[in-house]
Amino acid sequence: MNKTMYELHWHEVNGEFSRFSVTPITVIREGVLPGCTGVSITAVDHRGDTFQGSSLNYFETEGQAWEHGKEGLAMAVRDFEKDVARLQKQINTCRAYLSKL
C-alpha cells in the first residue's frame, strides 16, 4: 500500500504560534496491529522517518489539511479575542477602583 495523506504542523517561535504548514506522508500500512483494537497506520513523513499513528489525525487531501488549519487558527483567534475582552473588563474595573483611592 502506498497512499498519500497530509499532515498538519503547528510551528512556534519562543513558545508563540508563528505559522502552520502541510506536508505529505506516505501510508505504507493501514489496519489493526496484533494485540490492538483500533485501526492504525504506518507511514513515512517528508523527512523519511517512519511512524505509526491513527489515520484520523491525517487528511485525505492537502486542501482538507489547509482548511482544518485555517479553522483551528480562526477558533484560536476567537478564543484570544474573548480573553482580551475579559481582561480589558478587569483592567477597567481595577482602573475605576484605583481612581477612587
Res 74: pLDDT: 98
Provide the residue ranges of all domains of the chain, joining segments of one domain with +. 3-100
Contact predicate 41/27, CB 8 Å: yes
List, in sequence order, the alpha helices (H) in the chain.
62-100
Return per-residue pLDDT of the chain as tens, 101 residues. Answer: 899 999 999 999 999 999 999 999 999 999 999 999 999 999 999 999 999 999 999 999 999 999 999 999 999 999 999 999 999 999 999 999 999 99
Res 1: pLDDT: 82
Only one residue has cell 511512524, namely 51
Please state, in angstroms and rounded to a whole number, the distance separating the CA atoms of residues 77 and 46. 29
Res 79: pLDDT: 97
